[in-house]
Structures are given as structure tokens and as C-alpha cells.
Amino acid sequence: MDTIQSPATHSLATGAARAHLRRLAAGTLMPGFTGIAVPVWILEAYDAGLAAVCLYGTNVASPVQLRELCAGLRAHSPNTLIAVDEEGGDVTRLHYLTGSTQPGNAVLGRLDDVELTAASASAIGHELAGLGINLNLAPDADVNSAPDNPVIGVRSFGAEPGLVARHTAAWIRGLEDAGVASCAKHFPGHGDTTTDSHLALPRVTADAATLDARELVPFRALVAARGATVMTSHILVEALDPDHPATFSPRILQDLLRRDMGFEGVIITDALDMAGASAQTGIPEAAVRALIAGADLLCLGSETEPALFEQTITAIADAVGDGRLPMERLADAVARTQALSSRFPAAGAAEIQEAAIRGQLGLPGQPQHAGVPAEPKALDGERIAEAFEVSEAAERWLAREEPVAIVQVETGSNFAVGRVPWGPAATTSAVVREGEVPDGARVAVVGRGLDAEHPLWTVFARLRAEGHAVIAVECGWPRGGADIVTYGASLTVSQALTALLNGTAKA
């Protein structure tokens, strides 16, 4: 005889099922948050099943504050994923206030020593592990085939697929050997774009053969290296799926990446607050579409508010209830994300504090967790300078004996970089305004993204007209015309540049 549920019993059962479904939905989300302290709603979200959080530069006020923030997150949720964009080079979050102590991908690609690349990634990994951060949204595995790419550029190892592939694999090895999960990005390749997906939806028009021989080569290296995660891109790749951006394309995520390429790790979306993802639909619907397509962990963006977080959970739960999102797909995403946190256990709050104490007292060693070996030494400035492109005109300028003046022309940055100090102005050297250049000085005018319309060229022309010996320095990806190209603007690259210009380092 069938049991007939009372309305109250049915309501309780339905409520329990709904609560379980919402907990699963939370287990696919990775919000950011505003401020330099953990907000209460994040702690409540952890209690409700939240999978991860992502830290951004605006969450950093000082090294001590960042350490305390991470320790607080770990104390409340020891097994959570704490993520960050710490690519090294121009894109840094830990060193948002000063600039990165690592040279960045383009410099490493120019040096083309995979052991140096692995060592740079290992150094980043050790720093992250010491804070209890166990997921790094790096490396950038894009082949930068468009010189005027507004968002990739020096974040890429280079324009040659084989080079990018071997350095992607080395970077993954160095980071993951330090106990931190990697995330190769931006699948299936953001290098052949001239639109920033933060602002609009880029289109890639290359044919399938070109994509296979260029864009996909580094991601095959990711699969071979058994990298932990991959990040999707909000780009429309016409040859692969003319109707859906990669983040929302089952053809690209399930058929190509999972089935054809054999990737078994976690698929993470690029931030869903970007215009390329959600300008037309809003973030909650973008989250549903990404899960349906095959994504596992959804990056919501840097300034997630509790209302948006709740709306996204509701949208996911409703999509399961409506049959748009299969329960099996949602459960698979949660299981993959949980397996990732188990594969990369992080330092606990006590170990983070131990690391802080040892650092404050000047004691050697790392907290003992995850079998992390000793941290490698940083790359020295003269080795970094070997990656610079130096013209004959610049070599003649460097050989002159007049006093040196450096003028840095302020240049905006893309959303991925943010407002990080860059160039000689970020170092301890004196940088002067154009009107303060001494008579008789030779001048290096420094900028980045030096297209034909860049204001640097006006400054350059005026100083040359005044009789100065002038060179132009590009602190980004070369676009033509610069006398020195550094392929990056991080603190350590800028220090190497400053030493070169001042004659205290070899060309």
C-alpha cells in the first residue's frame, strides 16, 4: 500500500531537496568580494556550500593584512579553494601595490629556458602556498599572434606555438610541484584577438586548421602535463562554434576539450562579470549557460555582492528544476571541484601564522605542508635584460657619456593588469617630467602599448627637437618604432631596465 504524504511532510521533503540543490549550486561558484576583510556573507556562503573564493588586487592593503585575510578564510573553511590571478609579470595580485618580483611570461619566453620558467612558477607557488592559497589562475597559455592584442600581449610566452607549449608545461610543473593548482588560460586561445573580452565579445576568424596548429598546441601540452584546471575564454571562435562563445559552448568544452583532447581536470570560467560573458544576459543566466556547456567552477568577478550570489544560486537551482541543466551535470561539476581541493590541500590557518612569525623573526624555512621544497632564488636583473630587444640606435645611446634622464609617459592598462606600478617609476630611480629634463642630458622616454597614436611620440619629438639624444622604450609587446623593448613592466623587469639605462647593467 502506498504511503500518502501529508502536505506538511511533502513540504518538508520538497524543502530539503531544494536546500540540497542550492548547496550543490553554491559548490560551483567562486565569487570575489569587496574590501580588505572577509565579509560576513562570504562566511555564511561557506556554511551553505560555497566552493571557492577569488582574491583580487583591491583585496590587498599590505602583506600582513593579506596573510590575516587568508588565515581567516582557512580558519572558517579549511578545505576551501582560495584562488588568485598571480601570473607574475604585469598581472599580479599579491604584489598589486608594488609590482611583481617575477619577470612574466614574455620575458621567460624570450629567454627560452624551461628550467627558468619552472623556477619562476615555483617561486610564485611557494609564496602562494605560504599564504594558504591553493589555486592560481595561471599560466596564460595563449599564443599572442596579434601584435596589437589589447589584453594578452606580454602575458603570453610568445607568438610561436611550440615555444608557448613547452613553457606552459614547465610553468605548470613548477607551480604544481609547490603544491598549488595551475589554470592554463584562455581556452581555446585568446591570442588572435584585437578586442578585450572585458569590454565586448571578440571574434576569432581563423580556420580550423590554423587553430589546430596554433591555438590548441599549448593546451595539448596542458593535457599532457596533467595540469589541474583550464580557464575558458569569452570569445566566439567561428570555426569551432559559430553560435556560442567558448564559455557557453558544449562543442568546445565537452566535445573538443573533454572528448577529443582528453582533459580530465576542472574547467573554470573566466570572470562572468565581463561584457563578453554577460552583457546580454546578466551573470546568473551566464552561470547557468556555462554549467550546461560543461564548465565546473564559475568565476563570478571581483565585486560580487551577496544579492548577486543568491540570484545566481537561485538561477542554477531553477535551471535544474526546469530541466535545462541536468542534475548529473551539476553533480559532476561539484565533484570535480571537490576533488581539486582534495588534490591540493592548503596550509591551514596555524601554518600561515607560523610562516608569518618565521618571516618576521628572520628565521629560515617554510611551514611544513604539502611536501613543499625550499623556495628557489629570483632571476637576476642582468639575466632578465638578456630578453630585451635593443636596437643599434639604443646601443649607441647606451654607449654615450652624457647624464641620463628618464621620462615615463603614463599609459593606461587593461582590466587584467589593473593599476599596478610599472616601469622605472615603480623603482627607486629618479624619473623626471618632460619639463625637468636637464640641458645636455640623453633621454629615455618610456611607455607601453606604443601604437602610432601613443602620446609618447609627441614627447619624443619635442625632446629631440630640443637637441637631446632620445630613445623610445616599450615596456610591453612590440608594435614597431621603439628602440628598446622589455616585453614586460613588472617591478623586477623595470629594475633591470633602469639599471641598463643608467649604465649599471650590461646590454
pTM exceeds 0.75 for this model: yes
223 found inside a domain: yes
191 lies in a domain?
yes
Which of 34, 33, 95, 90 lies closest to 63, judged by CA? 95
Listed in order, strand segments (DSSP E) in 81-134 are 81-84
Residues in the chain: 507
pLDDT tens, position by position, 313-338? 999 999 999 999 999 999 999 999 99
Domain match, 350 and 394 both: no
482-498 pLDDT, tens digit each: 999 999 999 999 999 99
Type of residue at 501? L
d(CA 222, CA 376): 23
- Cβ contact 252:246 at 8 Å: yes
Output the pLDDT for position 17.
86
Query: Under a CB-based contact definition with an 8 Å cutoff, are residues 42 and 31 in contact?
Result: yes
Task: Give the residue-averaged pLDDT of 17-29.
Answer: 95
Give the strand order in the sheet containing 470-474: 389-390, 484-485, 470-474, 442-447, 404-408
**Average pLDDT of every residue of the chain:** 91
Mapped onto helix, strand or coil, the DSSP state of residue 230 is strand
pLDDT reported for residue 135:
98
Q: Check whether 466 has a pLDDT greater than 80.
A: yes
CA 147, distance to chain mean position in Å, is 20
The predicted structure's pLDDT at residue 196: 79
Domain count, the chain: 2
Cβ count within 10 A of residue 266: 25
| C-alpha span between 239 and 450 (Å, rounded) | 32
Are 57 and 148 in a shared domain? yes
What was the pLDDT predicted at 371? Answer: 37
Cell numbers placing 462: 619635442
- Domain contains 371: no
pLDDT at 16: 84
The pLDDT value recorded for residue 434 is 96
Give the residue-averaged pLDDT of 335-343: 97
Domain that holds residue 407: 381-501
pLDDT tens-digit map of 29-88: 999 999 999 999 999 999 999 999 999 999 999 999 999 999 999 999 999 999 999 999
Same domain membership, residue 355 and residue 389:
no
State yes or no: pLDDT of 507 exceeds 70: no
State whether residue 52 is helix, strand or coil: strand
Task: Examine the domain organization and report whether 240 and 203 are in the same domain.
Answer: yes
Task: Identify whether 309 is part of a domain.
Answer: yes
My answer on whether 65 and 204 are in the same domain is: yes
Of 359, 394, 428, which closes a domain? 359
User: Looking at the domain assignment, is residue 202 inside a domain?
Assistant: yes
Q: For 162-175, what is the mean pLDDT?
A: 98
Q: Give the pLDDT band of residue 471 (cuts 50, 70, 90).
A: very high
Q: Which residue bears the cell 547557468?
A: 288
Short-list 490, 501, 493, 502, CA closest to 111 = 493
3-state secondary structure of 488: coil
**How buried is 363 (Cβ within 10 angstroms: 0-12 exposed, 13-18 middle, 19+ buried)?**
exposed
Give CA–CA dist 157/306, Å, rounded.
Answer: 37
Percent over 70 (pLDDT), the chain: 91
**CA 99, 102, 103, 109 torsion-angle sign:** negative
Q: Which residues touch 397 (CB under 8 Å, ≥6 apart)?
A: 442, 444, 469, 471, 483
233 and 271 belong to one structural domain = yes
| Residue 340 φ then ψ, to 5° | -65, -45
Is 12 within the bounds of a domain?
Answer: no
Give domain status of residue 372, yes or no: no
Q: Catalytic residues, which ones?
A: 270
pLDDT in tens, 93-146: 999 999 999 999 999 999 999 999 999 999 999 999 999 999 999 999 999 999
What pLDDT is stored for residue 415 in this prediction?
A: 85
233/503 Cα distance (integer angstroms): 42
Helices and strands, number each (H, E), in the chain? 18, 15
Q: Determine the pLDDT at residue 15.
A: 77
* pLDDT value of residue 13: 53
pLDDT tens, residue by residue, 350-409: 676 666 555 543 333 343 333 333 444 557 889 999 999 999 999 999 999 999 999 999
Is position 507 within any domain? no
Q: Whole-angstrom Cα distance, residue 479 to residue 455? A: 14
| 33: CB partners within 8 A, 6+ apart | 39, 41, 42, 53, 59, 303, 304
Contact 93, 57 (CB under 8 A): yes
CATH of the domain at 205: 3.20.20.300
Question: Do 449 and 318 share a structural domain?
Answer: no
In this structure, the strands spanning 389-390 and 484-485 are antiparallel
Q: What is the dihedral of CA 253, 255, 261, 263, to 10 degrees?
A: 50
